Amino acid sequence: MATDTRTRILDASAALLARQGYNATGVKQIVTEAKAPFGSVYHHFPGGKQEIGAAAVVISGKLYEQLIPAVFDNTPDLPTGVRWFFNGAAQHLVETDFADACPIATVALETASTSEQMREACAAVFNSWIAAGSEMQQTRGGLSPESARRLTIAMIAALEGAFVLARAQRSVEPLEVAGELVAEAAEREQSLGQRAVSRAPASDETSG
Amino acid sequence: MATDTRTRILDASAALLARQGYNATGVKQIVTEAKAPFGSVYHHFPGGKQEIGAAAVVISGKLYEQLIPAVFDNTPDLPTGVRWFFNGAAQHLVETDFADACPIATVALETASTSEQMREACAAVFNSWIAAGSEMQQTRGGLSPESARRLTIAMIAALEGAFVLARAQRSVEPLEVAGELVAEAAEREQSLGQRAVSRAPASDETSG
DNA sequence: TACTCGCTAGAGCGATCAATCTAGCGAGGT
DNA sequence: ACCTCGCTAGATTGATCGCTCTAGCGAGTA
């Protein structure tokens, strides 16, 4: 029934890193939150705090990656999905009193220049999000792989930056503005993609 | 000749907070870097680390705010200015080995939920950037106050988020993609604004 | 010469940090 | 019954944290 010690440590770490960042989260705090014995930490994670952090970041990344299909699979088109995505983020931010935004952004900035292990873990998460978003936009939006990748990167960047502004200002305005910017870009990309598809459903480019 | 102790403390703090964030920067490290006597810290800043951090954030904010006119005043039009801005950020990021991005973003995320004093200082900086960018886009791009504010917020958000991705991935691709997204939005906004201006240079809206 | 006071100077406080250490529990194998 | 070993358990280490404390320097005033 109860999850094992290792899982509890990682779950607690993921939650604490998301809310406090890396440097503000202590190993003692993690084991207290996880109701885990302190001595078990360095048995399961001989690499210490960095190994815990890297593993926790990956777990958070996989969890949040599921939000992409969860939102966009129930959406009429790409731009609407983008708007739902940003609106949902804004709503969650308000509900958590502007505490829960991106689970790894703070950690990514803190550790980008100080821990190669942590930096790589964060980069891997971002890459998985980009891959998942790109595939979604290709299959559901009819975008080319290049367009899908660029629009996904832009969407994630706009979301991350809007989180920074929103948490500092305690306002969802940045999320609304950034979301609309990306949604309008998605409208143009999708109309271009669908036009190309409907014009030449299964042929190479041969028009002049 | 030599700047006074208080100024040296703030300059050193601004540099350290930009590169390491708030929690990773110690007061001892600040006075060492500033070549300042430790005892002077709590004479000049009785509020302790938070007061130093808040003042340093504001100083960094004013310094970086000057980049907006410095770039956009020498640019042919708004979209070109946006591209120069993001390209310059990307170049600086590469030159500093992906260490120097936004001077306050890391601090903003770290302290948003733990120190009201720090959060307000960061929010004030972001607001001053938004005000400066909005005014620039109104005067140079012919945008309405509302459009200028929204485009500025979007630009800052895209830049901040692209920094997060770029530092984690050690790649300027996010800056290129996000910059292009904002530049294209600026193209549409400027063409709309200029069309409106040339159509009705000094009259109220009376068209149907 | 006395006195004030803004500032320098750094020793030292208690608390907390990440990490190491030894000790022992307890299920599975023989 | 006995042993093994994955795991629990927490005391302890040395370093560092933000901060407080007293002492004294040195320019300005009387």
Task: Identify residue B202 by its one-letter amino acid code.
Answer: A
CB-based contacts of A84, cutoff 8 Å, min separation 6: A71, A75
**Beta carbons within 10 angstroms of residue B91's beta carbon:** 12
pLDDT digits (tens, 9 = 90+) for A96-134: 999 999 999 999 999 999 999 999 999 999 999 999 999
Q: Any idea of the CA torsion for B33, B39, B40, B41, to the nearest 10 degrees?
A: 60
Cβ proximity of A13 and A30 under 8 Å: yes
Written as one letter, the residue type at A47 is: G
Nucleotides of C under 7 A from a protein CB: 7-12, 16-23
Q: How far is A173 from chain B (nearest CA, A)?
A: 9
Helices (H), ranges, chain B: 5-20, 27-34, 38-44, 49-65, 67-72, 78-95, 105-111, 116-141, 145-169, 173-199
Q: In 3-state terms, what secondary structure has residue B166?
A: helix
Is residue B101 within 8 Å of B161, Cβ to Cβ?
no
Nearest CB neighbour to A168, from listed B108, B159, B165 = B108
| Token pair listed for A96 | 């958590």
Tens-level pLDDT at each residue, chain B (208 residues)? 468 889 999 999 999 999 999 999 999 999 999 999 898 999 999 999 999 999 999 999 999 999 999 999 999 999 999 999 999 999 999 999 999 999 999 999 999 999 999 999 999 999 999 999 999 999 999 999 999 999 999 999 999 999 999 999 999 999 999 999 999 999 998 887 665 555 444 444 444 3
Residue in B97, B119, B165 closest to A160 by CB: B165
Coil, strand or helix at B63: helix
Separation between Cα atoms, residue A103 and residue A129, nearest integer Å: 13
Chain B residues with CB-CB distance to A159 below 8 A = 161
Q: What is the Cα A84 distance to its own chain's centre?
A: 15
Token pair, residue A179, equals 């979301």
Tell me the domains of chain A and their CATH numbers.
Answer: 5-58 (1.10.10.60), 60-199 (1.10.357.10)
Percent of chain A at pLDDT > 70 equals: 91
Q: Which residues of B touch A49 (CB under 8 A)?
A: none
Q: What is the DSSP letter of B22?
A: S
